[in-house]
Structure 1
Amino acid sequence: MYTERASRLTGAVVWTKTPAGAGARGVLPDGCMDLLWSEGRLLVAGPDTRAYVPEGPDRIWAGIRFFPGTAPALLGVPALELRDLRVESADLWPAARVRRLLDRIEAAADPAAALEDIALDLAARAADPDPLLRRLVERLDEGRPVSATAAELGIAVRTLHRRCLSAFGYGPKTLARILRLQRALKLARSGLPYAETAIRAGYADQPHLAREVRELAGRPLGELLGGG
């Protein structure tokens, strides 16, 4: 079973997942990075460009999902280095620091809440989030073209691409595709017909939507929505 709630850290989401007996389910690309805890392990989930299917038996997980583009400044690692990866925190931070964090999480009644507190501590020590990145996410999530968005933000497309690699792990065009996928899933889950979902989310037509869902999510839209 999966549950989530808004975090006290702006734009972040705190979540937990417990085994539901249905096997591992793919995690869809969403433009985000997560700090994860699972049964004594502390990991960082990098930005995905395709559906990620966990290996091994289903486990208890807790996490905090950061607003797109904000995690690298908090975690101290460029997003590009973690793209499509789940990395042990001990490979990123000193072992003593990781041990202290794990002790803090495992002593807490709620591991997810402990992760949230850790994220808030990280944010308190980091520089303020780059407002340009948030505006970029907002514009692309509205369906604006990358070139027009770069012009609105007063930044060259090549410069924007470099900054996106560090903040998101991929360029602005890939980010736009992933945000469009998430818009489409939200619309389709509301009961909107697929053809109308495609147009409103920014696809050329329903077949275009179907191709993008298969490429990014690895499954047909109907299977995603049906939970199969």
Structure 2
Amino acid sequence: MTDQITLYSYWRSSAAYRVRIGLNLKGLRYEIQPVHLLRDGGEQHTPAFRKTNPQGLVPVLEHGNRQLRQSLAILEYLDETWPDRPLLPATARARQRARAIAQAIACDVHPLNNLRVLKYFEHEWHVPQPERDTWVKHWINEGFAAIEEMLGGHLSTGQYCEGEAPTIADCCLVPQVYNARRFGVDIAAYPTIARIEQACLALAAFDLARPERQPDRPE
């Protein structure tokens, strides 16, 4: 019998979105524990949540008595604990490529447009909103231009980032595309990324993970 799975999540968090996709692809049942990243200065900063994650970040996955942090590490934990419907391909070369695409997004693109970075710009340096938006769009475009080149025309790119089944790379790509659209990035400039996103969103696992489908979304 599978231990209870609880995901500490925020409806619009890209990192939590990745894990929701992974859980859905695995067919795992889980409960959402909402953490509002904006209300009252951010519930992630409360002493109660800091006991759950000293970094003050979502997601956190509780599996039984274990508390798991960092979205990519959580996705790999899911793959090792429930090997069916793998999130990582079968060969070392393909696994490396899937991880490389995932990390290009999670480690290089996403941190530069993370909420805490933008809040620091706003409150500490008093950077106006238009300049903050320009910052976000610049780094997403820089990252997407490179990822488009990694994907477009590559022999290993199939219906999804790596082959014909969604992997950890797709779990990262789709939330970042959602985030890009929020800031007005022209996704049509990246046709392979746009095509893969649409293939992913046609699957129930991705569709059910969408921010607008989450219980804590605003009315």
Give your verdict on TM over 0.5: no
Q: Which has the higher strand share?
A: 1
Length-normalised TM-score, structure 1? 0.32
Q: Which has the higher helix share?
A: 2
Length-normalised TM-score, structure 2? 0.33
